[in-house]
Amino acid sequence: MNPPYGSWVEISTAALEGNARAIRAAVPGKRVIAIVKSDAYGHGIETAMEAFCRAGVDAFAVVYPAEAYRVRKAAGDRAKLILVLGGALPEETPELMRQDVTTVVADAAQAKAFSEAAKAAGGKLRVHVKLDTGMGRLGFLMPRDLPDAVSVAGMDGLELEGICAHFAMVEPVSHPQKAKKQMEKFFEAADAIEKAAGKKLLKHVSSSRASLVTPEYDLDAIRPGIVLYGYGAHAAFGRYATRPAMQWKARVVQVRDVPEGTGVGYYGAYVAKRATKIAVASAGYADGYNRHLGNRGDVLVGGQRKPVAGRVSMNWICIDLGPESDVKPGDEVVLLGAQGEESVWAGELAEHCGTIAYEILTGISKHLPRIPV
């Protein structure tokens, strides 16, 4: 294995498939809309699509049309629903229709523009109405904009097929009223919109966390994201468990014996407290290895957990191996993943960086190859 850059990302297709199967099995009779935006949370849309299709998932959501077309290309007609969650412009309408991609509509002016574009293209654009029931982001603001949302049902050129919303917070123990209030607004609006449409619409509100802790909000479909990639669903918690699918690996490029008192890297921010061996590994912040991990994070090398010594450079990190190590150039360094008995997962890295696992996964640079294993 000689990657074009110093590190590479391995994607376990068995983990992705198993995760999707576990989630599907937890919601019998419901649709699972797999969230594959942002290159499937950094895992690679095409690799994720294969695994999820094998698990019997037939609905996918992304943010941008360009991602939707990649999903269509990878899944063909195995994808019965490809939903764009807010990043489509009305100019895109003919291509959305040609590739049978559905988009959300989030306000009256936008819905009209899609309707006009679809009429001009001589067909129907499949849409879901996106309601803001308390997220405070995209959507028809409930209850103020309910008449506008209802009007979508009667717009020429649009085939209204679904209604969705997104939770700002699902904390049934500490904040039991928050999600409940959002759902009250949702149900009221959904009734009125379905009446105007004269048919049942696909209703979906639950992303990963809600799908784990509030099964009463499964409605017709759930929209899991992070759990598909193995985070947030532990065995002892919720209705299903999933496991991480991504590992990120680099190589040791040099090992040196250094005397006590040696400063390591920029500004000598790490000083060897004793004579030790310092390894240089082939990944840095340009690859997405966050600078906050300098002097904080651990990596796995030689089957052991070892500290990142000093600041993270653009293309390298230094690792204090300790005086006795037999690690040598060429050895694998696990930045994210497992080696021997040890593991370092995105939650741990996120804690050091003051962020969330989502940002760690999506922050690993696109230039690194994603290798299905």
Ligand X SMILES: Cc1ncc(COP(=O)(O)O)c(C=O)c1O
| Residues acting as catalytic residues | 37, 266
Q: Does 212 bind ligand X (CB under 6 A)?
A: no
In angstroms, give the least distance from the CB of 208 to ligand X.
3
The H or E element containing residue 120 is: helix 108-121
In angstroms, give the least distance from the CB of 229 to ligand X.
8
Question: Residues 221-250 vs ligand X: string with x where CB under 6 A?
Answer: --xxxx------------------------
**Helices and strands of the chain, counted as H and E runs:** 11, 20
Tokens of 45: 């849309």
Q: Does 207 bind ligand X (CB under 6 A)?
A: yes
Site for ligand X in 163-182 (CB under 6 A): 166
In angstroms, give the least distance from the CB of 363 to ligand X.
15
Binding ligand X by CB under 6 A: which of 151, 208, 242, 290?
Answer: 208
Residues 6+ apart with CB under 8 A from 152: 105, 111, 127, 129, 158, 160, 193
In angstroms, give the least distance from the CB of 315 to ligand X.
30
Q: Does 128 bind ligand X (CB under 6 A)?
A: no
Residues 6+ apart with CB under 8 A from 321: 255, 276, 277, 278, 279, 301, 302, 306, 327
Q: 328-352: buried (b, 16+ CB within 10 Å) or exposed (e) per residue?
A: eeebbbbbbbebeebebbbeebbeb
Cα distance between residue 315 and residue 292, in whole Å: 15
Residue among 223 and 370 whose Cβ is closer to ligand X: 223
Q: Does 35 bind ligand X (CB under 6 A)?
A: yes
Q: How many residues bind ligand X (CB under 6 A)?
A: 9
In angstroms, give the least distance from the CB of 7 to ligand X.
25
Q: Does 102 bind ligand X (CB under 6 A)?
A: no
Only one of the segments 75-83, 220-228, 271-279, 361-369 lies at the binding site for ligand X (rule: CB under 6 A); that segment is 220-228
Residue among 11 and 165 whose Cβ is closer to ligand X: 165
* Intra-chain end-to-end CA distance of the chain, in Å: 13
> Shortest Cβ contact with ligand X: which residue?
225
Residue among 70 and 130 whose Cβ is closer to ligand X: 130
Residue among 185 and 223 whose Cβ is closer to ligand X: 223
Only one of the segments 12-20, 21-29, 219-227, 316-324 lies at the binding site for ligand X (rule: CB under 6 A); that segment is 219-227
Q: How far apart, in Å, are the Cα atoms of 349 and each of 55, 82, 145, 291, 294?
A: 29, 32, 41, 11, 11
Only one of the segments 94-102, 188-196, 217-225, 314-322 lies at the binding site for ligand X (rule: CB under 6 A); that segment is 217-225
Residue among 39 and 298 whose Cβ is closer to ligand X: 39
Q: Does 103 bind ligand X (CB under 6 A)?
A: no
Residue among 151 and 208 whose Cβ is closer to ligand X: 208
Contact by Cβ (8 Å): 310, 318:
yes
Cα distance between residue 160 and residue 361, in whole Å: 34
From the list 158, 56, 151, the residue with the least C-alpha distance to 102 is 158
Which residues, listed in sequence order, are joined to residue 125 by a DSSP beta bridge?
Answer: 158
Cα distance between residue 345 and residue 244, in whole Å: 8
Residues 6+ apart with CB under 8 A from 292: 352, 353, 354
Residue among 211 and 313 whose Cβ is closer to ligand X: 211
In angstroms, give the least distance from the CB of 162 to ligand X.
12
Strands 81-84 and 102-105: parallel
Q: Does 85 bind ligand X (CB under 6 A)?
A: yes
Query: Which parts of this chain interact with ligand X (CB under 6 A)?
Result: 35, 85, 166, 207-208, 223-226
